[in-house]
Structure 1
Amino acid sequence: MTAATPAPLGTPIVRPIHHSAAYAFETLADAREVFAQRASGFTYARTGNPNVAALEAEVARLEGGECAVATSSGQAAVSLALLTLTGPAKDAHVVVSSRIYGGTVDLLTDTLADTGLEVTFADPREPQQWEDALRPGTRVFFLESVANPLTELPELEAIAEIAHRNGVVVIVDNTVATPHLYTPGRHGADLVVHSATKYLSGHGGPLGGVLVDTGSFDPTEDPERWPWLTRKHHRWGDRSPVEVFGARRALLGVARCKYLNDLGPCMGATTAHEILQGITTLGVRVERQSATAERLALTLAEHPAVERVHHPRFGDPRQQQLRETGSYRGVGGVFSIDLKGTPEQVEHAVNSLRLIKLAANIGDVRTLVAHPASMTHCRLTPEQFRVSGITERTLRVSVGLEDEADLTADLFQALSVIAPAHAPQPRSASTTAAH
C-alpha cells in the first residue's frame, strides 16, 4: 500500500491475536514505573497480554467480579488462589468439600500438603460439618457450585456465613455451572475459579483456568490475620500489597505479580483468544446441554440397569429446592449414574459405547463418559472414596450437543449388556418441565 492509498474502512470484529512475549517502552522511565507496579502496563507475557487481559475482563464481568487472573489450567488457578491465601501462614488449614473433583483432592492432600497445608473434608450439604472443622489457622473454605461428578448442590449461603463470621475466605469452583447458570459471588463466594478448558471454551481444545475476585474480601478488616497482604515488604517497594493494588484487588495482585510471575503457570495469547471465542456461545450451549442432561437423567432413571441417578432432580427435597429456588438457571450438562451388576459388567457397558467417547474432560460439545473410580478420582484413599459417594459402578456423563435420540440409543445399547430395555422417544422440553 503506497502512502497515497487511503486506509481501508472497517475494523476487525474478532480481536486480533497479540503474539508477543515482550513489550517495548518508549523510555526507561516508563519501564521503571510499570515494573515497579507504580503504573499499569504489559511487561512480559508471563504476567499479562492484551488477549489474556480481555479474557480476564470478560470472565470477571460474567461473574460480577472485581478482577480476574487467567492461568494455564484450572488446576493452576486453584493453586494460585490457595498459595496466595495460605502459603505464608505457619498454621494454614483449609476446609474442603468431600464431594469434589479428584484432581483438587490430589493437589490439596499431596502436593500442597508437602508445604505444610492441612486439610479437613466436610459435606457441602451439611453446614454444621464446616463449623465443626474450624481451627484458629483456618484460612479457606473450598467447594464447588455443582459437585463433580455427583451433581450435588451445596448449602453455599450457610457455609459462607460461617466462613465470614470466622474470618475465612470462600473459594467456589464454578466450572460445571458456569456464570451463565449460577453466580457464586451473589451467594457468599469471595473467589471463583474456573477450568476454562471446560464450558467457557466449550470445544475440548484449549487448556486454561481463570481466578476471579468478587471484590468482597478486604484483608484490611483483619490486617493481623493477613500480614502478607497488609504489611510493607521489599518486594512491593517497601509498600504493602494493599497500598500497591488497593484493598479489593490486593489478593489477585499478589496472585499475579508474585505467584504467577514466579511460578509461571501463565496463559498464552492464542489460548485466551480461543476461549474468548468459545464464550460467545456459552449461553446457548449450556442451556441446551443442561436441558438435555436432565432429560437423559429422567430417561435413565427408568432403565433396569441403572440403580441410581445422581442429579438434583432426583435428590432429597432440599436438593430439589436448591435447584428450583437457589438462583440456578440450570445445573449444567453433567450427571452421574450408578449401574447395577458387577464392576466387570460396568466395564463392558463402557466399552460398548459407540457415539459417546470415554474421556476425562467435561464441557465439550461432544458427549463424554468417565469412570471416576478408575480415572479422575483414582488416587482417592478408601476413606475419601467412602465420603465422596463414588463407587466402582459410578459413571459420569458430560452431555454435548448431539441429537438426544442418538445419545439415548447409544446409552441403551451399551446398558443392554447389564439389562436390556427399549429406548424411548426423547422427551420434549415441555414434557420435561411438566414432571
Structure 2
Amino acid sequence: MSEYGFDTLLIHAGARPDPATGARQTPIYQTTAYVFRDADHAAALFNLQEVGFIYSRLTNPTVAVLQEKMAMLEGGQGAVCCSSGHAAQIMALFPLMGPGKNIVVSTRLYGGSITQFSQTIHRFGWSAKFVDFDDMDAVAAAIDDDTRAVFCESIANPGGYITDLDAAAKVASDAGLPLIVDNTSATPYLCRPIEHGATLVVHSMTKFLTGNGTVTGGVVVDSGTFDWSASGKFPSLSEPEPAYHGLKFHETFGPLAFTFHGIAVGLRDLGMTLNPQAAHYTLMGIETLSLRMKKHVGNAEKVAGWLEGHAAVEGVTYAGLPSSPYHSRVAQICPKGAGGLFTVALKGGYEACVKFVDSLELFSHVANLGDTRSLVIHSASTTHRQLSEEQQIAAGAAPNVVRISIGIEDADDLIRDLDQALAKAST
C-alpha cells in the first residue's frame, strides 16, 4: 500500500476485512493461544520457518494489524508493539546492548526516560552518556568503542525542542551506529525520522497516536536499512542464536532481522506484550491522527503566541514561534508544524507555577500528553521530580516551568482559562 497517501494509510494500512466474518473494523482477538493445523505446522512456527500465530505473548492478530500500520506510517520495514513507551525503549536497546556497553543520549528527554537511562539500565550493566544534541561535535566525541546506539527525541518532551535529525544521523552513521529516535511528540504526521536517517523509531502510543487517554502502548519501528553484520558489534542479530539452533537473524531475515528478533526473543523473554484491546483502541485513535494533529498545531500556535506576550510569562519554548531558536528546524524536520507541546516559564517561579496549575479549569492536571484534552503539569514537582535541579534545567523542566499539551478544544476558550489562572498565580 506504499503508493497511497498518508491519510489513506491511517485508515487502511494493515487493516483488511476479517476473513472469517467480513467484519470491517479490526476485531479484538481476545485469545491466549491458537490451534495449529498439525504437528509439522507447530514445529515450523516455533522454528521461525513460517510466520503465524502461536501465543499472544508473541503475536496476536489485532496487534499484528497495528504493527503493520505503524511500519507503513513511519516508512519502515517492520514494527514490534509492546506494553508502553518505556517498554519500547528497552525493546529497542535489548538486541543491541550488553554488559559494559553504553548509549549516547540527548539531555533533552522526558524525565522518565532520563531516569530509565541514568539509573535503571545500570541493572543490566548498561550505561548512558548524556550530551546536548545542539552540539554535534560533543555527541561525536562522546561515542567510544563500547557505544552501541545514539538516542534522541524528534520533538523533545517537555520543551518542544526540535532535534536536527539529519545531523544526528550523520554522526551515528559515521560511527557505524544506529540512531534511535523517539517520535512520540511529533507522530509520523509531523515527522518521519527514517527519512532523516534514523535506524529505529520508538513511540509511546499512549500519547498522540491513540489520542484519547484510554490505554498505554509502545512500538519500535525498524527502518530495515542498517547492516547489523558489518561491525561485529551486534552479535544478537549477526551471530548464531542458541535458542533457535544457531539461526542468524540478520543473515536469515535481512531487513526484517530486528523485527523478528524483537518478537521471537524480545517479547518471548521480556514479556512486554501489548494486549489486543489496547491495540484496538490505538487503531481507532490513529484513524483520526491527521485531523487531530492539524488542530493541535493550529491551537498551539495561537495559544503559544498569546502566552509569549503575557506580562506574567518569562518565556515560551514553542518551536513554532519565530522567536524560538529552533524555529528554523520546523521546515526541515517537521514541515507540517511544531506539534502541540511546549513549556512556559513564569516570572513568579516555583510557587507561581503551583498556583497556576491549581487555578486552571479547562486544562486537566495529569501526567500525560497528546490527549484531545488540553493538559498541564509542573514537571519539576512531578515527572522530573527525581532529577537534580541541574538535570531539570538541562531537560527543559526548570522549577519555574510548566509543561502544556494543547488539545483540540476552541483555542479562545483555552486562552481565557490560561488568562484567569495567570491572574491568580500573580497575586
- Tell me whether the two structures share a fold, i.e. TM-score over 0.5: yes
Candidates 286, 289, 293, aligned match of 2:296: 289
Query: Secondary structure in 1 aligned to 2:424?
Result: coil
Query: Secondary structure in 1 aligned to 2:179?
Result: strand
Candidates 28, 33, 46, aligned match of 1:17: 28
User: Using the alignment, how far apart are the partners of 1:325 and 1:233 within structure 2?
Assistant: 41
Query: Secondary structure in 1 aligned to 2:236?
Result: helix
Query: Secondary structure in 1 aligned to 2:45?
Result: helix
Residues 1:218 and 2:212 aligned together:
no
Residues 1:335 and 2:346 aligned together:
no
User: Using the alignment, how far apart are the partners of 1:376 and 1:418 within structure 2?
Assistant: 21
Q: Which amino acid in 2 is paired with 1:20?
A: T
Candidates 148, 151, 157, aligned match of 2:160: 151
Structure 1 residue 315, shift from structure 2 partner: 6.7
> What does the per-residue CA deviation read over 1:395-416, in whole Å, with 9 as the maximum and x for residues that have no partner?
1111111111111111000000
> What does the per-residue CA deviation read over 1:364-388, in whole Å, with 9 as the maximum and x for residues that have no partner?
1111001111111111133322422
Aligned 1:258-277 pairs, distance under 5 A? 258-277=265-284
User: Using the alignment, how far apart are the partners of 1:396 and 1:264 within structure 2?
Assistant: 32
Task: Using the aligned pairs only, state the percent identity.
Answer: 37
Query: Secondary structure in 2 aligned to 1:361?
Result: coil
Aligned 1:123-202 pairs, distance under 5 A? 123-202=132-211
Please name the residue that 2:247 is paired with.
239
User: Using the alignment, how far apart are the partners of 1:327 and 1:297 within structure 2?
Assistant: 17
* 8 A contact 1:363–1:398 mirrored in 2: yes
Q: Which runs of 5+ in 2 are unaligned?
A: 1-20
Query: Secondary structure in 1 aligned to 2:27?
Result: coil
Please name the residue that 1:209 is paired with.
218
Structure of higher CA gyration radius: 1
User: Using the alignment, how far apart are the partners of 1:175 and 1:406 within structure 2?
Assistant: 26
Query: TM-score, structure 1 length as denominator?
Result: 0.91
Aligned 1:345-360 pairs, distance under 5 A? 345-360=352-367
User: Using the alignment, how far apart are the partners of 1:90 and 1:347 within structure 2?
Assistant: 42
Superposed structure 1 runs of 4+ greater than 6 Å apart: none
User: Using the alignment, how far apart are the partners of 1:336 and 1:385 within structure 2?
Assistant: 13
Candidates 410, 413, 417, aligned match of 2:417: 410
User: Using the alignment, how far apart are the partners of 1:236 and 1:60 within structure 2?
Assistant: 25
Query: TM-score, structure 2 length as denominator?
Result: 0.92
* 8 A contact 2:162–2:333 mirrored in 1: no
* 8 A contact 1:220–1:247 mirrored in 2: no
> What does the per-residue CA deviation read over 1:36-68, in whole Å, with 9 as the maximum and x for residues that have no partner?
111111100001111100000001100000000
Candidates 35, 57, 75, aligned match of 2:46: 35
Aligned 1:305-344 pairs, distance under 5 A? 305-314=312-321, 319-344=326-351
User: Using the alignment, how far apart are the partners of 1:394 and 1:327 within structure 2?
Assistant: 24
> What does the per-residue CA deviation read over 1:61-107, in whole Å, with 9 as the maximum and x for residues that have no partner?
00000000000111101111112211xx3431111110100111111
Please name the residue that 1:117 is paired with.
126
Q: Which amino acid in 2 is paired with 1:208?
A: G
* 8 A contact 2:320–2:338 mirrored in 1: no
User: Using the alignment, how far apart are the partners of 1:188 and 1:267 within structure 2?
Assistant: 27
Query: Secondary structure in 1 aligned to 2:255?
Result: coil
Change (3 A) 1:268 1:332: same
> What does the per-residue CA deviation read over 1:174-233, in whole Å, with 9 as the maximum and x for residues that have no partner?
0010001110000011000010011110100011011100112121222x2222211113
Q: Which amino acid in 1 is paired with 2:160?
A: T
Structure 1 residue 317, shift from structure 2 partner: 7.0
Structure 1 residue 251, shift from structure 2 partner: 1.8
* 8 A contact 1:150–1:311 mirrored in 2: yes
Structure 1 residue 314, shift from structure 2 partner: 3.9
Candidates 26, 49, 69, aligned match of 2:60: 49
Query: Secondary structure in 2 aligned to 1:220?
Result: coil
Figure out how many residues of one structure are paired with residues of the other and give that number: 407
* 8 A contact 1:372–1:378 mirrored in 2: yes
Q: Which runs of 5+ in 1 are unaligned?
A: 1-9, 421-435
Candidates 37, 40, 45, aligned match of 1:26: 37
Structure 1 residue 13, shift from structure 2 partner: 2.3
